[in-house]
């Protein structure tokens, strides 16, 4: 019934050399240092240099302590699956794994069949303890995954397209037929987001890029990526009307989108049966995996990629460290139920797939993060801890302006950029924006016969002209300058014999 063999006779169990150990320690140290230190040689200010030297030393000490902690004091070790001999990992089936694994883990492999209520979609809380599932025909359920207990089940009597948890398991949002609704853990409807002006809506944007089918949040920096039917992926932040990035990813519509938890990789799948892995720092393709039309994609905490195609779920892993994804495991759902959504469970080696007849859960060794942090996400949270955490999260709530592509830029010095003259298009855009702003102003309603239509029209015209005036003046200035330059040029271009005919300026 072996779990793992710590002292085995295989070649990999030879104790690593000192050099290898220190190299490994160095890589973990780099991870905790979070970037390069300040360049102290270039500083001339002695006081600042002294202060920074002390600080850099402190950072080094804390990074070393964290690296040592990671090496020696973590309670759990990650899972793995190794094939022996001519075996290949992607041919290993779930029942083979069941035989090798303890009873507690084998409880995580199951199929739940609910025939009537449509394809199921699901979502997990960040701690992986609770799961919210919703069937297309209105069945909504919250399940406690540790005890496999059904917390709340209800029928919303409308088409349900998607379900997500809000900050913890006490609130969830359901995308119903017309509007999204927010519910309590007890199933009480709290909000219907019908009227777009109630609540604190931060942004409402028209993409102009076509129908969107997929949307994901990048966990690293909080930007929202939306996949369009034209094959473009656009990334949005709440405070700007234009997308941050627009990438043309596929030749056809984008069917699935997923982000790696480190924020550097994105996987997209298009209808032309290719999965592309993108590097988000350079915005280029790292790898193309042909042959899959995945309806759903998901990255695990350890970087394994699950793709759900039809009734087959493929798990790809990056084992060489060079961002080259290859087959790791696969699973086909019994009786050919079509997979609607795949989702890895956080902090567990489990993949849950929502399909047309319910959901199934399988074991994928090595997909979950073995060590959780109590202050970040605690699968064993008590209600008191949950309440405290909620308050602390509220206190640390990020204002929408802090969401940006590179979140580590906060607190850094913006490099001084010489202000270039705005291009013609930019000026046009500014002019349009000013005119739009003026058009939105509501004019006072006058009474006693003073509210004639012609007067109102005249007033609006005057306002628009006033708004346009500074731009027109600037344009005239530019034109004047250009004309001046051209004049000078003209004068020098004349041949010598014709210079006598040039009109000279009267001497002052």
Q: Give the residues across from 260 on adjacent strands.
A: none
CB 366 within 8 A of CB 80: yes
The nearest distance, CB 169 to another protein, in angstroms, is 18
Q: Which stretch binds another protein (CB under 8 A): 98-106, 250-258, 334-342, 498-506?
A: 98-106
Does 408 bind another protein (CB under 8 A)? Our answer is yes
Please say which residue, 76 or 240, places its beta carbon nearer to another protein: 76
Q: How far apart are CA 400 and CA 236, in angstroms?
A: 12
Which string of x and - marks every residue 15-54 that binds another protein (by CB under 8 A)?
----------------xx-x--------------------
Q: How far apart are CA 485 and CA 506, in angstroms?
A: 20
Does 317 bind another protein (CB under 8 A)? Our answer is no
Q: Which stretch binds another protein (CB under 8 A): 112-120, 158-166, 255-263, 482-490?
A: 255-263
The only residue of 240, 324, 402, 451 in contact with another protein, by rule CB under 8 A: 402
Give the burial class of 216: count Cβ atoms within 10 A of its Cβ; 0-12 exposed, 13-18 middle, 19 or more buried.
buried
Which CA distances in Å does 160 have to 15, 122, 196, 341, 493? 55, 11, 20, 14, 75
The only residue of 51, 240, 262, 324 in contact with another protein, by rule CB under 8 A: 262
Q: How far apart are CA 389 and CA 365, in angstroms?
A: 30
Range 457-496, binding another protein (CB under 8 A):
none
Nearest alpha carbon to residue 361 among 122, 109, 114, 99: 109
- The tokens for 342 are 């795949």
Q: Which stretch binds another protein (CB under 8 A): 93-101, 238-246, 469-477, 494-502?
A: 93-101
Please say which residue, 141 or 403, places its beta carbon nearer to another protein: 403
Does 321 bind another protein (CB under 8 A)? Our answer is no
The only residue of 100, 158, 162, 430 in contact with another protein, by rule CB under 8 A: 100
DSSP 380-413: T--HHHHHHHHHHHHHTPPPGGG--S-GGGTTSP
Contacts of 195 (CB under 8 A, 6+ apart): none
Please say which residue, 228 or 331, places its beta carbon nearer to another protein: 331
Q: How far apart are CA 508 and CA 506, in angstroms?
A: 6
Please say which residue, 3 or 488, places its beta carbon nearer to another protein: 3
Please say which residue, 401 or 428, places its beta carbon nearer to another protein: 401
The sign of the dihedral angle between the CA atoms of 28, 32, 36, 38 is negative
The only residue of 25, 179, 220, 319 in contact with another protein, by rule CB under 8 A: 220
The only residue of 9, 208, 321, 411 in contact with another protein, by rule CB under 8 A: 411
The only residue of 51, 61, 96, 477 in contact with another protein, by rule CB under 8 A: 96
Range 135-164, binding another protein (CB under 8 A):
146
Strand order in the sheet with 130-135: 120-124, 130-135, 139-144, 149-155
CA 455, 461, 467: angle at the middle one, nearest 5? Answer: 140
Give the burial class of 212: count Cβ atoms within 10 A of its Cβ; 0-12 exposed, 13-18 middle, 19 or more buried.
middle
Range 340-369, binding another protein (CB under 8 A):
347-349, 363, 365, 368-369
Nearest alpha carbon to residue 361 among 350, 348, 377: 350
Q: How many residues bind another protein (CB under 8 A)?
A: 67
Does 105 bind another protein (CB under 8 A)? Our answer is yes
Please say which residue, 95 or 493, places its beta carbon nearer to another protein: 95
CB 310 within 8 A of CB 296: no
Please say which residue, 139 or 260, places its beta carbon nearer to another protein: 260
The only residue of 149, 396, 420, 493 in contact with another protein, by rule CB under 8 A: 396
The nearest distance, CB 205 to another protein, in angstroms, is 22
Under the rule (CB under 8 A), what is the footprint of another protein? Answer: 3-5, 31-32, 34, 66, 69-70, 74-84, 87, 92, 96-97, 100-102, 104-105, 146, 219-222, 261-263, 347-349, 363, 365, 368-377, 379-380, 382, 385, 395-399, 402-403, 407-408, 410-411
């Amino acid at each position: 019934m072996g779990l793992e063999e710590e002292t085995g006779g295989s070649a990999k169990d030879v104790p690593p050399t000192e050099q290898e150990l220190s190299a490994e320690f160095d890589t973990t140290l780099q991870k905790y240092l979070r970037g390069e230190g300040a360049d102290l040689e270039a500083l001339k200010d002695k006081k600042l240099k002294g202060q920074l030297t002390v600080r850099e030393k402190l950072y080094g000490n804390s990074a070393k302590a964290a690296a040592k902690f990671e090496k020696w004091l973590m309670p759990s070790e990650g899972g793995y699956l190794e094939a022996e001999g001519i075996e290949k990992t992607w041919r290993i089936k779930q029942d083979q794994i069941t035989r090798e694994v303890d009873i507690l883990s084998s409880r995580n492999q199951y199929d739940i069949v609910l025939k009537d209520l449509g394809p199921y979609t699901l979502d997990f809380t960040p701690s992986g303890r609770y799961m919210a599932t919703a069937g297309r025909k209105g069945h909504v359920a919250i399940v406690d995954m540790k005890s496999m207990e059904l917390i709340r089940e209800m029928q919303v009597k409308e088409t349900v397209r998607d379900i997500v948890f809000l900050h913890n398991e006490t609130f969830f949002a359901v995308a119903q037929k017309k509007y999204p609704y927010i519910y309590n853990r007890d199933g009480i409807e709290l909000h219907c987001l019908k009227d777009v002006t109630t609540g604190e809506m931060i942004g409402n944007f028209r993409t102009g890029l076509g129908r969107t089918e997929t949307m994901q949040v990048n966990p690293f920096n909080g930007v929202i990526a939306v996949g369009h039917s034209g094959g473009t992926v656009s990334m949005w932040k709440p405070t700007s009307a234009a997308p941050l990035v627009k990438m043309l990813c596929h030749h056809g519509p984008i069917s699935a989108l997923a982000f790696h938890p480190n924020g550097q990789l994105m996987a997209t799948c298009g209808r032309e049966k290719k999965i592309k892995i993108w590097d988000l720092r350079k915005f280029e393709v790292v790898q193309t995996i042909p042959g899959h039309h995945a309806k759903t994609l998901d990255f695990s905490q350890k970087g394994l990629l699950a793709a759900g195609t039809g009734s087959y779920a493929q798990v790809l892993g990056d084992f060489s460290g060079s961002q080259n994804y290859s087959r790791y495991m696969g699973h086909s759902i019994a009786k050919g139920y079509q997979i609607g959504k795949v989702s890895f469970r956080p902090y567990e080696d489990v993949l849950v797939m929502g399909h047309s007849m319910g959901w199934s859960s399988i074991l994928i060794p090595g997909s979950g993060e073995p060590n959780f942090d109590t202050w970040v996400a605690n699968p064993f949270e008590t209600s008191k801890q949950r309440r405290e955490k909620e308050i602390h999260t509220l206190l640390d709530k990020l204002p929408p302006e802090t969401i940006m592509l590179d979140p580590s830029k906060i607190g850094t010095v913006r490099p001084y950029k010489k202000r270039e003259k705005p291009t013609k298009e930019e000026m046009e855009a500014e002019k349009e924006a000013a005119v739009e702003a003026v058009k939105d102003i509501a004019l006072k309603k006058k009474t006693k016969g003073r509210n004639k239509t012609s007067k109102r029209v005249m007033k609006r015209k005057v306002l628009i002209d006033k708004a346009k005036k500074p731009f027109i003046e600037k344009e005239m200035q530019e034109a004047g300058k250009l004309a001046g330059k051209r004049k000078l040029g003209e004068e020098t271009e004349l041949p010598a014999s014709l210079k006598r005919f040039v009109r000279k300026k009267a001497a002052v």
